[in-house]
Amino acid sequence: MTNTPLQLLFPEHLPVWGRPSRDTDTPIDIEYIGDGHSLVLLKSLQDPALRKTLVVDNRTGLVIRFYDSLAVTVLENFIPF
């Protein structure tokens, strides 16, 4: 699945939180990486060998980067609320 930058503004709608019958991935680790950001490592529910990564801005709660095997999506030039 490739995400558009607009989808990153609504992280609760991304299919990555491990909800039954709705999501394709689930978080397996969270690491504070400094400068107000956290890295969330995700595991595929269909193939546990596949990994994806989110970078979350802790101040806004927005996903600012999403890395998967096909693409990197970056949220840039947004004005925090």
**pLDDT value of residue 3:** 59
pTM equals 0.83
**pLDDT value of residue 81:** 60
Give the whole-angstrom CA distance, residue 33 versus residue 79.
22
**pLDDT value of residue 26:** 94
First to last CA, the chain: 28
**pLDDT value of residue 25:** 93
Domain locations in the chain as residue ranges: 5-74
Question: Burial level of 15, CB count in 10 A (0-12/13-18/19+)?
Answer: middle
Give residue-wise pLDDT tens across range 3-23. 577 788 888 888 888 898 889
**pLDDT value of residue 80:** 64
pLDDT over 90 at 1, yes or no: no
